[in-house]
Amino acid sequence: MSDKATARIGWIDEFKGFVLLLVCLYHVEQSFPQAQMGMLHLSALRMSAFFFISGMLFSTRRFGNFKAYFIHKTHVLLVPYILLSLLFLALDPVLYNFDLFPKAPRMTIMNIRPEIATVWDYIYWNLAKIFVAGKSSIGSGPLWFVFTLYSVSLIFYGVQKIVPRRFIFFISLASLAGGWLLYVNHIRLPLGIERDLTVLFFFANGWLCKDLLKGGNDNKRNALLAAATIISFAAYAYLEVPDPNFSIMNNDLGKDFRIFVASSFFGIAGLIGTFVLADKLPNIIPVRIAKGILRNISRNALVILAVHWYTLLVMRLLFREAFNKPGVAYLAIPVVATVVIATIPLFRCKLYHLLGKEKIGVRESLSIKD
């Protein structure tokens, strides 16, 4: 399948938006445990699915050489990662009231759990988190994904240029094995190299699976796809083992390699099947609205990743006792959604340089139209 053809596949943006939504809901549940939504059971597929679909979108057709590709990715991924990490570090309430520090998320940097006694220690280790561990600051934690996507995109550029396509799957397997070995031996490397090895497996296989999107729209094929989707979700539910410590960010991959790979595979397959089938639904108003919202989430991923987490951080530091109660905890969802929606125009219209994007109007930034 050509890159141009892949770019026209509308459901991919909807898929990305949905996974981002799952990430946000997981962070709500993580911040306020009384808001139970079953997000822990989706840990094995959330970020692996995001990197898989990112691999499907990998394209070099607009770039004549690695230098051009490197400059582009640096502009749209690395620079926003650094600037947004620093911005939300500067906005971190702990900097202005260090008494809040005990309520802040704990830091682990390359197996180091730093002793933080002053606000200057806090700043120092946040900078180490951003520039050494590649995990962003406490105030914008989920942006680790942006840095990892940057790293893996550059690595895969070299892989697909040097390695024949028929061998890339085996390279991805070797990379995954390397990530797993580093995990079981508790080895953490600078810039998150260990998680790059793990993530490269999903990214590379997403790229390899582009051609699987080819096919017609006949009833028999759709019925087979629906059956495969149901079987995939059933297999995921059977295999998945919820683990509160599971984290691709920390390359903490669970206790069983086979379960990790199999549950990720079936989870990704089920999600893709769902969105391919959803793309065939009649274009009625509720469907258009749902798809438009997910596409908007995808388009504003950088803003949403940073702002939703920062909002939850502030709520966690200042209002945790008030919100973390049965029933009340779910109010965190509309609060976060309201703040995120209000700040999207701010970033897309005024602070767009931080995102590596072009300036757009308020209406366009919030639009859910195609």
- Check: CB of residue 320 under 8 Å from CB of residue 32: yes
Handedness of CA 124, 305, 253, 52 (dihedral sign): negative
Identity (one letter) of the amino acid at 175? Answer: S
Return mean pLDDT, the chain.
Answer: 91
Give the pLDDT confidence of 82-125 residue by residue, as tens digits: 999 999 999 999 999 999 999 999 888 988 899 999 999 999 99
Span 130-153, average pLDDT: 95
Kindly tell me if the per-residue pLDDT of 6 is higher than 50: no
- Write down the pLDDT at residue 38: 87
In this structure, what is the dihedral angle of CA atoms 12, 13, 18, 20, given to the nearest 10 degrees? 120
User: Using one digit for the tens of pLDDT, what is the confidence trace for 229-270?
Assistant: 999 999 999 998 888 888 899 999 988 899 999 999 999 999
Which of 198, 210, 233, 249 has its CA nearest to residue 12?
210
> For residue 255, what pLDDT is reported?
83
Question: Which pLDDT value is given to residue 215?
Answer: 55
Number of C-beta neighbours around residue 112 at 10 A: 13
Q: pLDDT at position 245, please? A: 83
The pLDDT assigned to 111 comes to: 87
Above 70 in pLDDT, residue 25?
yes
Q: Do the beta carbons of residue 14 and residue 295 sit within 8 Å?
A: yes
Residue 213: pLDDT band (50, 70, 90) is low
Instruction: Pick the closest to residue 94 from 129, 116, 119 (CA basis).
Output: 119
What's the pLDDT band for 348 if we cut at 50, 70, 90? very high
Q: Quick one: which of 296, 295, 303 has its CA closest to 336?
A: 303
In angstroms, the first-to-last Cα distance of the chain is: 23
